[in-house]
């Protein structure tokens, strides 16, 4: 059986996505190790964990693409849906006693490497641009707030005499705030708490 090695060909250049992909690669390799050790119980525990994490990752990735207005999001989402429809079939066959572990592992290795190297790398420039834009907007808001604070402090009576200022980044919401609104933040925190 193949081992899926993390390498530069799998990197998108988006740290959070690359870390999630590394987690999935690690789980695929854990499945391989369990299969080779003949430990079907361990393999049976890895599969649902891997499926749950992959669905979380797909949702996270699609949310980023949506925020970045990635034009091929519907196509990418469809590819994710096709993949997630295949997994329950393997789970049913496995639960019925069929030995599908090697077949599942080989499919995961091929699909994951191909998907990351093609579909995911296609969206990477749009996400990187979006994240850089957000970072620049946040820096501009911080600079603006710092400049306003300096002006207020230099004014007669200092900041206490000035009217309450609007939030520095009014209208600018962080990715964390967006994820909280969309219910993803709890899932992200729960994953990293495990």
For helices 184-193 and 40-67, what crossing angle results, to 10°? 140
Q: Is residue 135 part of a domain?
A: no
Number of domains in the chain: 1
Q: Which domain holds residue 19?
A: 8-128+183-193
Q: How confident is the model at residue 116 (pLDDT cuts 50, 70, 90)?
A: very high
Q: Is residue 133 part of a domain?
A: no
Residue 76 C-alpha from the chain's centroid: 14
Inside any domain, residue 118? yes
pLDDT digits (tens, 9 = 90+) for 41-76: 999 899 889 989 999 999 999 999 999 999 999 999
Q: Which two tokens stand for residue 166?
A: 């609007």
SS3 183: coil
Residue 66 lies in a domain: yes
Q: Is residue 168 part of a domain?
A: no
Instruction: Examine residue 107 and state whether it is found in any structural domain, yes or no.
Output: yes
Residue corresponding to tokens 């995911």: 120
In a domain, 139, yes or no: no
Write the pLDDT tens digit of every residue in 72-107: 999 999 999 999 999 888 888 988 989 999 999 999
Q: Is residue 32 part of a domain?
A: yes
| Residues 140-194 pLDDT 10s | 777 776 666 666 566 565 555 545 544 444 445 555 555 556 555 555 455 445 4
- The pTM assigned to this predicted structure is 0.71
CATH of the domain at 64: 1.20.120.50
């Amino acid at each position: 059986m193949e081992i899926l090695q993390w390498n530069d060909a799998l990197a998108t250049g988006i740290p959070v996505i690359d870390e999630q992909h590394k987690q999935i690669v690690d789980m695929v390799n854990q499945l391989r190790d369990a299969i080779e050790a003949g430990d079907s119980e361990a393999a049976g525990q890895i599969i649902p964990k891997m499926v749950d994490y992959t669905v979380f990752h797909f949702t996270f990735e699609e949310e980023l693409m949506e925020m970045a207005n990635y034009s091929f999001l519907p196509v990418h989402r469809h590819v994710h849906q096709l993949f997630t429809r295949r997994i329950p079939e393997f789970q049913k066959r496995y639960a019925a006693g069929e030995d599908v572990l090697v077949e599942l592992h080989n499919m995961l290795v091929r699909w994951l490497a191909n998907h990351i190297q093609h579909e995911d790398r296609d969206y990477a420039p749009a996400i990187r641009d979006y994240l850089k834009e957000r970072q620049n907007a946040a820096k501009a808001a911080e600079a603006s707030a710092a400049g306003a604070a300096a002006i207020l402090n230099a004014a007669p009576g200092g900041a206490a005499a000035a009217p309450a200022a609007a939030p520095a980044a009014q209208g600018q919401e962080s990715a964390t705030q967006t994820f909280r609104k969309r219910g993803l933040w709890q899932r992200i925190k729960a994953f990293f708490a495990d």
